[in-house]
Structure 1
Amino acid sequence: MHILITGTSSGIGHGLAQEYLARGAKVWGISRRIADDLAGEANFHHLQLDVTNHKAVMEKLPAFLDECKRIDMLILNAGVLGPVKWMSEVNTEAMQKVMDVNVWSNKVLLDLLFSLGKDIRQVVGMSTKASLRSTPGWGPYAVSKAALNMLMNVYAKEHPDTHFIAFAPGLVDSEIQETIWNIKETDKYPAVERLQQARYTEDMPDSRAAAANLIRGMEKAREMESGAFADVREL
């Protein structure tokens, strides 16, 4: 298989890259830095790039993927949590930064790949259950992921030969959880307390431990209508 993943330096993207490589797949990873354990993998190809630098994406990606004519799975994983605050406390500049990473970088990447004539079999936009029903403090993240859900739905209608899914991976320990762990105002943000309590328990595995189940879920999601939302815990 030929797998393209954004955000492979840590977290879910890193765990998925490890698991796909262990299964003999060829993996193309895009992230701002390369994980040390992936650097020596013969089947891992890495492009050091900030996905929000759209000019650099347009300039560097075609050559990087020149030998990759078919993409069995494109996993749009790169994302940020953004500020955990009430929406009234978040300015539009902060919102735009979250939207740039979680939404617009994915649009730029998709448009470029389709313009290059790549045969893309499945696109997975890494989403969250918070995109369906948010809680206090989750506004920027929830809004951006809700937009990502719709982005997947729109592209599904416009590219019927590719299967799209907005995919919630459930609880996975990652850099986002590190941010959540350090938030003290748990009485103000109820979801934070729940996540803090789940960390370091079997309810929140690390990305490597979760990878096999995530891959199973993404493959199972192909049975759903293209452009739908899926939660790995319900597949």
Structure 2
Amino acid sequence: MKNIIITGTSRGIGYELALQFANAGHNVLAVSRKIPQALVENKNISCLGIDLSSGDGLTQIKDFIENTWQTVDVVIHNAGAILLKPFAEITADEFEYIYKVNVFGVAALNRVVLPFMQSGSHVVTISSMGGVQGTVKFSGLSAYSSSKGAVITLSELLAEEYREKGIAFNVLALGAVNTEMLQEAFPGYQAPLSPKEMSDYIYNFALTGNTYFNGKVLQVSSTTP
């Protein structure tokens, strides 16, 4: 039984992951702005309805760990925001918001959680194929894709900084998954994988991937591009 923190659990992949880990007997801290009733009702899930860009929210996470778990085994950075808009039309506030959610929130949560992680722990960051150098890029995703590239580099650097402590950092760069967020950005597009299918992969990788990988970016995409 492991202690697992998952962000972005209100819907989609994060929601499926929280239930999957909890139903397998693990302790889950589900972090998102909105909390689905199904997560509240699960005895193995503790829920925090917070904004990761808020200092108060991060304090709540720290207090929970100190008072309830004392240690954290796995962190899955799944929370994300997307913006489909021509670069020339994106405001400074909009660009900053995407980075607050996709980059600064990841860094801030790592800063809070890492003191409670021990050798053998695993930090998994969910990125995108659009953030991987050399892959096909799509117009209108300058803020989103560049932010997803930033967390890739951040994870690679942290893997080096925490290598001697035995804490692994890996990134899963996902292709298209048929989530509500994807549908909001690209109405009518049908991705080849469902949130549940992708959560099955992430579930196993989070528990075992650090045995084989550290500081790596794995491209998890069933389509080309």
Task: Determine if the TM-score, normalized by the shorter chain, exceeds 0.5.
Answer: yes
Misfit runs of 4+, over 4 Å: none
Aligned to 2:215: 227
1:38-76 CA deviation, whole Å, 9 max, x = no partner?
1111110111101111x2134312221122233221001
The structure-2 alpha-carbon separation of the partners of 1:60 and 1:106, relative to structure 1 and needing over 3 Å to count, comes to same
Please tell me whether the aligned partners of residues 47 and 64 of structure 1 are also in contact (alpha carbons under 8 angstroms): no
Q: CA RMSD in A?
A: 1.9
**Which of 166, 179, 182 does residue 177 from structure 1 map onto?**
182
Match of 1:167 among 155, 167, 172: 172
| CA spacing shift, 1:171–1:223, aligned 2, 3 Å | farther
Q: In structure 2, do the counterparts of structure 1 residues 94 and 113 end up closer, same or farther at CA, with 3 Å as the change threshold?
A: same
- The 8 Å contact of residues 164 and 227 in structure 1, kept in 2 or not, is answered as yes
Q: Residues 80-99 of structure 1, C-alpha deviation per residue, up to 9 Å, x if partnerless?
A: 012x1222221222110000
Residue-by-residue CA offset, 1:200-223 (whole Å, 9 max, x unaligned): xxx131x23432122234456425
Which residue is equivalent to 1:214? 202
Paired position in structure 2 for 1:79: 80
Change (3 A) 1:4 1:229: same
Q: Structure 1 residues 92 and 12, CA, compared in 2 at 3 Å: closer, same or farther?
A: same
Alignment of 1:58-69 (within 5 A): 58-66=58-66, 67-69=68-70
- Inter-partner Cα distance in structure 1 for 2:130 and 2:211: 23
5+ residue gaps in structure 2? none
2:97: which partner in 1? 97
Matched AA of 2:169? F
Unaligned segments of structure 1, at least 5 residues:
183-195
Specify which of 176, 190, 195 is matched with residue 198 of structure 1.
190
By how many angstroms is 1:225 displaced? 4.2
Q: Distance in 2 between matches of 1:233 and 1:148?
A: 18
SS at match of 1:12: helix
Using structure 2 for the length normalisation, give the TM-score: 0.87
Give the paired residue count: 214
In 2: Cα distance, 1:125 partner to 1:60 partner = 21
Deviation at 1:126, TM superposition (A): 0.6
Match of 2:110 in 1: 110
Q: Quick check: 2:117–2:167 contact (8 Å CA) kept in 1?
A: no
Distance of 1:94 and 1:233 partners within structure 2: 28
